[in-house]
Amino acid sequence: MRLTGARILMECLRAEGVEVFFGYPGGVVLPLYNTLGEYPDIKHVLVRHEQAAAHAADGYARVAGRTGVCLATSGPGATNLVTGITTAYMDSVPMVVLTGNVARDLIGRDGFQEADITGITLPITKHNYLLMRASEIAPAVKEAFHIASTGRKGPVLVDIPKDVFIEEAEWDGYPQGVSLRGYPIMDVPREEEVDKAAEIVNSAKKPIIIAGHGVVQSEAQDELVEFAERSDTPVLTTLLGISGMPEDHELSYGFLGMHGHFYANMAADRADVVIGIGMRFDDRAMGRFSDFNPTARIVHIDIDPAEIGKNFKTHAPVNGDVKETLSRLLPQIERNSHPEWRAEIDQIMDQHPTDYIEEGTGLGGPWLVRALAEATEGQSTIVTGVGQHQMWAAQYYPYTKQRQWVTSGGLGTMGYEVPAAMGAQFAQDEPIWSICGDGGFQMTSQELQTVADHNLPVRFAIFNNGFLGMVRQWQELFYEHNYHSVDLGQPDFVKLAEAYGIRGVRVSTRAEAIQIFRDLEGYDGPVVIDFQLEREENVWPMVPAGAALSETIESAEEL
């Protein structure tokens, strides 16, 4: 059967089981939009800015555990995606990004709205394609989904010139497989590497696990818990590993790093064996590399061979998928117990709990997250922006279910909170809580209209401190309190919500906060809540930039 390129593309999305994608039209993708009506089972969500299409696909992917899809036109449409693609790339989120380009004969001639998007995205995609024939679409899309969703996941871009959408090619069904010689799947670890890892784990006196995003992506919570229990190893997570370990488990000690828990940082620093699982030893997690626990032996399980040994000397490298590796490692792990080591960490935790909650009636960030956790019984999916509110959301909400926590870690993209929550809401029915900064919210609030279009039940909780709070904290602590460009003017968020036809509420006291949480039970539309936070609260604890984990401080006096 002969089909146009546009139809072939849609047939491919259908064959991939894509249920929703996020996009924005323009000249060169008109032939594609012309066919969308014939594919009602593939929901197209019209966003208000292409950056949001990318973040929405990313949020959807992280919550659904499937590949997110977004679409933009050539030139400015494609370049608007760049921040969203980079965000996904840094956090290894599976995404297929579709862009239109100018007709083939105009490529390379600075045609109207031509942008070299495959060139631009070389360093921010796992792979990309510029297709010059309709017959290339099906094999390329098949490869794109395969590459995006296997191994270390990531965004793949497919750029299609306008006339390729119109050209016809033979369609005889979606390709069954791919043949990518330079891309073997490295899920299964080598036996000798597993043996070596088991030997080190079994001989540890003070072991610690650092579970990362790979645990969540591999959905290996059960295996992780069993591994920890059997070897009696306390578990820390990275910021992105949050929700990989149920935090109500007695072996869970929260996350480590720049704003991680004091006890977590100390445990990582004092361990004799550090077992990194699906994490990349990022500087925000590990502090100053040269002074991170110099005596520990390091076991590193990672699907990406280039991550192993990148930042730290690794005594037992294990190249494989977390789930595959843990299930092979488990039978070799001896039942063990480390009561003294556990007691040592418990004691640090008793002396240095993360409990910076002030008495009174005003709204502090930590108090507010705790109250939200109580009201939602710790069961909600939480999406955040970047800044202080993000750190409080990480510290004070008790995550227990995989994929319950969605945040931009590697790129730290403000403005992620609104569109990512919007996209994520397409992956589940239960309302999503989007914890927003007043700064970040103002970056992408145009998506409230998309939320209204689809009457999505997202709860946008603006942690409104009237500041670019995280930057203000740094100016206070490291730049002699010299505030510059952080005192942010803002619209009336309640009226703004109402202008979009969305319920808006302002909350200034703890009593009102508890009340609004109650009021929202059963409410199935969107809501924007302007929480009037204390203005100059700081996030503690903290590892000052360039310091080691052992130098974690708990107040400004320690500087």
Partner 1 sequence: MASRNTIVAHVEDRPGVLARVASLFRRRGFNIESLTVGHCEEPGLSRMTIVVDGDDHQVDQVCRQLFKLIDVVSVQDITYVPMVDRELALLKVSATNFNRREVLDVVEVFRADVVDVHSEALIVQVLGDEGKVNAAVEMFEQFGILEMVRTGRVAMVRGTETTKPPAISDSQQAAAAIRAMLGRRPEGALPFASD
Ligand X SMILES: Cc1cc2nc3c(=O)[nH]c(=O)nc-3n(C[C@H](O)[C@H](O)[C@H](O)COP(=O)(O)OP(=O)(O)OC[C@H]3O[C@@H](n4cnc5c(N)ncnc54)[C@H](O)[C@@H]3O)c2cc1C
- List, by residue number, the catalytic residues: 50, 112-113, 162, 470
Under the criterion CB under 5 A, does residue 437 sit at the interface with Mg ion?
A: yes
Residues of the shown chain interacting with partner 1 in the complex, contacts defined by CB under 8 A: 118-119, 122-123, 126-127, 130, 147, 179-186, 188, 190, 304-306, 308-310, 312-315, 317, 319
Write the burial class of residue 99 (CB in 10 Å: 0-12 exposed, 13-18 middle, 19+ buried).
buried
Query: In the bound complex, which residue of the shown chain has the CB atom lying closest to ligand X?
Result: 257
The dihedral of CA 82, 85, 87, 89: what is its sign? negative
- Shortest distance in whole angstroms from residue 304 CB to ligand X: 3
Q: Does 465 bind Mg ion (CB under 5 A)?
A: yes
| Closer by beta carbon to partner 1, 147 or else 271 | 147
Half-sphere exposure of 266 (CA within 13 A, CB side): 19
| Residue 188, contacted partner among Mg ion, ligand TPP, partner 1, none, CB below 5-8 A by kind | partner 1
Toward partner 1, which CB reaches closer, 133 or 535? 133
Least Å distance between CB 325 and ligand X? 7
| From the list ligand TPP, partner 1, Mg ion, none, partner contacted by residue 458 (C-beta under 5 to 8 A by kind) | none
Q: Does 319 bind ligand X (CB under 6 A)?
A: no
Contacts of 114 (CB under 8 A, 6+ apart): 74, 75, 101, 102, 106, 107
H runs (alpha helix) in 330-468 = 339-351, 365-375, 388-396, 417-425, 438-444, 448-453
Q: Which of residues 138-197 bind ligand X (CB under 6 A)?
A: 152
Q: Which of the listed partners (ligand X, Mg ion, partner 1, none) does 465 bind, with a CB threshold of 5 to 8 Å by partner kind?
A: Mg ion
HSE (CB half, 13 Å, CA atoms) of 229?
10
Which amino acid belongs to residue 86? T
**Interface region with ligand X, contact rule CB under 6 A, candidates 80-88, 120-128, 407-415, 551-559:** 407-415
- Residue 348 sits in the site that holds ligand X (CB under 6 A): no
> Which of the listed partners (partner 1, ligand TPP, ligand X, none) does 445 bind, with a CB threshold of 5 to 8 Å by partner kind?
none
For residue 14, the minimal CB distance to Mg ion (Å) is 42
- Of ligand TPP, Mg ion, partner 1, none, which one does residue 386 interact with (CB within 5 to 8 Å by kind)? ligand TPP
Q: Looking up tokens 């380009």, which residue turns up?
A: 101
Q: Kindly state whether residue 412 participates in binding ligand X, applying the rule CB under 6 A.
A: yes
Of the candidate residues 134, 329, 386, 420, the single one contacting ligand X (CB under 6 A): 386
Selected binder of Mg ion within 469, 504, 526, 541 (CB under 5 A): 469
| Among the listed residues 269, 400, 263, the one whose alpha carbon sits nearest the alpha carbon of residue 343 | 263
Residue 295's Cβ-count burial label (10 Å; 0-12, 13-18, 19+) is exposed
User: Of ligand TPP, partner 1, Mg ion, none, which one does residue 415 interact with (CB within 5 to 8 Å by kind)?
Assistant: ligand TPP
Give min distance, CB of 343 to ligand X, in A: 25
Residue 126's binding partner among ligand X, partner 1, ligand TPP, none (Cβ under 5 to 8 angstroms by kind) is partner 1
Comparing CB distances to ligand X, the nearer of 12 and 264 is 264
User: Closest Cα partner for 299 from 230, 203, 220, 364?
Assistant: 203
Least distance from C-beta 470 to Mg ion, angstroms? Answer: 8
In the complex, least distance from residue 16 CB atom to ligand TPP, rounded to whole angstroms: 31
Which entry of ligand X, ligand TPP, partner 1, none binds 46, CB below 5 to 8 A by partner kind?
Answer: none
- Residue 139 CB-density burial (10 A; 0-12 exposed, 13-18 middle, 19+ buried): middle
Only one of the segments 99-107, 278-286, 429-437, 521-529 lies at the binding site for ligand X (rule: CB under 6 A); that segment is 278-286
- Provide the token pair at 240: 């992105």
Q: How far is the CB of 369 from ligand TPP (least distance, A)?
A: 12
Sign of CA dihedral 216, 414, 96, 131: negative
Residues 6+ positions from 187 with CB-CB distance below 8 Å: 151, 303, 320, 321, 324
Q: Which is nearer to partner 1, 58 or 193 (CB)?
A: 193
If the CB atoms of residues 11 and 321 are measured against partner 1, the closer one turns out to be 321
Nearest C-alpha neighbor of 333 from the set 206, 203, 191: 203
DSSP H helices in 94-180: 117-120, 137-149, 162-166
Answer yes or no whether residue 241 interacts with ligand X by CB under 6 A. yes
414 binds, among ligand X, Mg ion, ligand TPP, none (CB under 5 to 8 A by kind): ligand TPP
Please enumerate in sequence order all residues whose Cβ is within 8 A of that of 75, keeping only pairs 6 or more positions apart, or say none.
Answer: 26, 112, 113, 114, 115
Q: Is 19 exposed, middle or buried (0-12, 13-18, 19+ CB in 10 A)?
A: middle
Edge to edge, the sheet with strand 297-302 lists: 252-255, 235-237, 207-211, 273-277, 297-302, 316-319
Contact flag: residue 111 with Mg ion (CB under 5 A): no
- The residue whose two tokens read 């510059």 is 484
Select from 230, 150, 253, 213 the least CA-distant residue to 402: 213
Residues that bind ligand TPP (CB under 6 A): 385-389, 412-415, 437-440, 463, 465, 467-471
Q: What is the largest CA-CA distance in the chain?
A: 74
Q: Which residues are near ligand X by CB under 6 A?
A: 91-92, 152, 212-214, 217-218, 238-241, 255, 257-260, 278-280, 282, 284-285, 302-304, 307, 321-322, 386, 390, 409-410, 412
Q: Which residues are near Mg ion by CB under 5 A?
A: 437-439, 465, 467, 469
